[in-house]
């Protein structure tokens, strides 16, 4: 809502010392119109500049002290980019913490012991954008992996999600060791941060194939097209008991359904082409995510985002890092080193990735036509999408000649594919 303020000037009128007699010249209507247009353009320019200036100022005002990262091999931080897409490849890691510290109201309903302090990185994703900015891959790392190169070393039996308790650098170094990539950009997002970011983007509409009910997070969604934002978006991204087989791997594919819909929304809405919107979202990110010191410059956030601007949805792929069940403990996973090496090589090659496997455990192919999005999760559509878990991805994007086909044990989907989440 715009508030207007009126002001008036009072004063004493004085007689003019000289009076001018004779007929006054009539104003030229064309000159008057030109002047009016000129004034309007000036006002518009000042308004746009003021909005842009406010966006930049408010972004700077949200910056928190950055987290300094230590890298495998002693790699150095990149220079602050100029306005425009960052030069070269982008490797950015985002860790979602389950900490309840300063997160009022987030206690699971099953009296599960709540994390405190740094918490555990129950969600860890790596965004890799190729150096020529023509392809991007988002890799999700299962939290239950063991026998991983913990902080560059090896601690037998430690789960991957324990790395964040040793600091964000530990998570970064562990992923660097697993993938062979250097990761100069990183951030930690909390429960409140997920809520803030989902509100900042105006929610994300996802397809739910069958009801999702999770007594642990409180999520209760019927089937249909549902717009998620705020605490409902958080519950959707957190749920594992409510989707597929109740495992963390099911949760990963459920998140991939959300993220694919998010990417489609951002590209269709022209967000990456609107500098005001870009700085507004950068402002929201800096307010809700604790960034590495390589991203505390707002221009860095925008520059990294702009690297995605020209990438085809077919060349934005979400995958799960491949794993096996641990023979010694069925509740734990061990990295599939053979398939993992193929994925790592594909990332390092800077070529588009083509999937040859299936969707993840909680994802199904969306029907050819979907009902219109509903305004909120409280009033979803009732049409139930069809599909079955574990089916071949469809429609499968046509690989480009330069694409690298990864082994079928690597599950996931392209951003161009419309998928639905399947309840447990």
pLDDT of amino acid 299: 82
Tell me what the mean pLDDT of segment 189-218 comes to.
Answer: 92
Judged against a pLDDT cut of 60, whether residue 180 lies above it is answered with yes
Q: How confident is the model at residue 382 (pLDDT cuts 50, 70, 90)?
A: very low
Tell me what the mean pLDDT of segment 328-340 comes to.
Answer: 92
pLDDT of amino acid 176: 95
Q: How confident is the model at residue 109 (pLDDT cuts 50, 70, 90)?
A: very low
Judged against a pLDDT cut of 70, whether residue 113 lies above it is answered with no
What is the tens place of the pLDDT at every residue in 401-424?
A: 788 999 999 999 999 999 999 998
The more confident residue out of 42 and 372 is 42
pLDDT of amino acid 284: 86
Lowest mean pLDDT among 82-86, 143-147, 157-161: 82-86
The secondary structure of the chain, three-state, reads: CCCCCCCCCCCCCCCCCCCCCCCCCCCCHHHHHHHHHHHHHHHHHHHHHHHHHHHHHHHHHCCCCCECCCCHHHCCCCCCCCCCCCCCCEEEEEEEECECCCCCCCCCCCCCCCECCCCCEEEEEEEEECCCCCCEEEEECCCCECCCCHHHCCCCCCCHHHHHHHCHHHHHHHHHHHHCCCCCEEEEECHHHHHHHHHHCCCEEEEECCCEEECCCCEEECCEEEEECHHHHHHHHHCCCCECCCCHHHHHHHHHHHHHHHHHHHHHCCHHHCHHHHHHHHHHHHHHEEEECCCCCHHHHHHHHHCCCCCCHHHEEEEECCEEEECCEEEEEEECHHHHHHHHHHHHHCCCEECCCECCCCEEECCCCCCCCCCCCCCCCCCCCCCCCCCECCCCCCCCCCCEECCCCCCEEECCCCEEECEC
pLDDT of amino acid 344: 96
pLDDT of amino acid 114: 54
Share of the chain above pLDDT 90, in %: 49
Q: How confident is the model at residue 154 (pLDDT cuts 50, 70, 90)?
A: low
Judged against a pLDDT cut of 50, whether residue 392 lies above it is answered with no
Judged against a pLDDT cut of 60, whether residue 111 lies above it is answered with no
Q: How confident is the model at residue 381 (pLDDT cuts 50, 70, 90)?
A: very low
pLDDT of amino acid 415: 95
pLDDT of amino acid 402: 80
Out of 67-76, 91-100, 243-252, give the one with best mean pLDDT: 243-252
Out of 36-50, 53-67, 255-269, 272-286, give the one with best mean pLDDT: 255-269
- Domains assigned to the chain: 77-421 (3.40.630.190)
Mean pLDDT estimate for the chain: 79
Q: How confident is the model at residue 116 (pLDDT cuts 50, 70, 90)?
A: low
């Amino acid at each position: 809502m715009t508030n207007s303020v009126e002001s008036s000037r009072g004063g004493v009128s004085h007689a003019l010392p000289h009076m001018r007699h004779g007929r006054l010249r009539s104003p030229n209507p064309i000159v008057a119109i030109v002047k009016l247009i000129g004034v309007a353009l000036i006002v518009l320019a000042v308004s746009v500049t003021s909005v842009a200036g406010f966006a930049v100022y408010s972004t700077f005002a949200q910056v928190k002290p950055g987290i300094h990262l230590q890298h495998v091999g002693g790699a150095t931080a990149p220079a602050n980019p100029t306005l425009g897409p960052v030069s070269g490849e982008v490797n950015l890691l985002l860790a979602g913490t389950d900490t309840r510290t300063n997160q009022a109201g987030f206690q699971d309903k099953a009296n599960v012991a709540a994390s405190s302090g740094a918490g555990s990185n129950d969600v860890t994703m790596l965004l890799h954008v190729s150096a020529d900015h023509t392809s991007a891959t988002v890799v999700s790392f299962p939290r239950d992996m063991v026998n991983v190169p913990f902080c560059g070393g090896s601690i037998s039996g430690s789960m991957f999600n324990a790395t964040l308790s040793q600091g964000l650098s530990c998570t970064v170094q562990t992923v660097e060791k697993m993938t062979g990539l250097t990761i100069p950009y990183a951030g930690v997002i909390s429960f409140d941060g997920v809520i803030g970011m989902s509100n900042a983007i105006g929610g994300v509409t996802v397809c739910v194939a069958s009801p999702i009910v999770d007594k642990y997070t409180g999520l209760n969604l019927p089937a249909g097209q549902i717009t998620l934002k705020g605490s409902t978006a958080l519950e959707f991204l957190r749920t594992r008991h409510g989707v597929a087989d109740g495992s963390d791997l099911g949760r990963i594919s459920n998140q991939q359904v959300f993220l694919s819909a998010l990417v489609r929304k951002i590209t269709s809405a022209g967000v990456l082409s609107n500098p005001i919107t870009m700085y507004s979202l950068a402002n929201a990110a800096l307010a809700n995510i604790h960034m590495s010191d390589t991203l505390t410059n707002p221009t860095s956030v925008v520059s990294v985002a702009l690297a995605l601007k020209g990438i085809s949805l077919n060349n934005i792929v979400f995958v799960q890092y491949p794993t096996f069940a641990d023979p010694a403990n069925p509740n734990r996973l061990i990295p599939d080193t053979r398939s993992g090496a193929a994925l790592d090589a594909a990332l390092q090659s800077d070529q588009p990735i083509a999937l040859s496997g299936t969707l993840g455990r909680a994802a199904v192919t969306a029907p050819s036509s979907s009902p219109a999005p509903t305004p909120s999760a409280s009033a979803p559509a009732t049409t139930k999408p069809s599909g079955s878990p574990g089916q071949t991805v469809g429609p499968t994007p046509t690989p480009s000649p330069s694409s690298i086909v990864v082994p079928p044990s690597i599950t996931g989907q392209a951003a161009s594919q419309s998928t639905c989440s399947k309840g447990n």
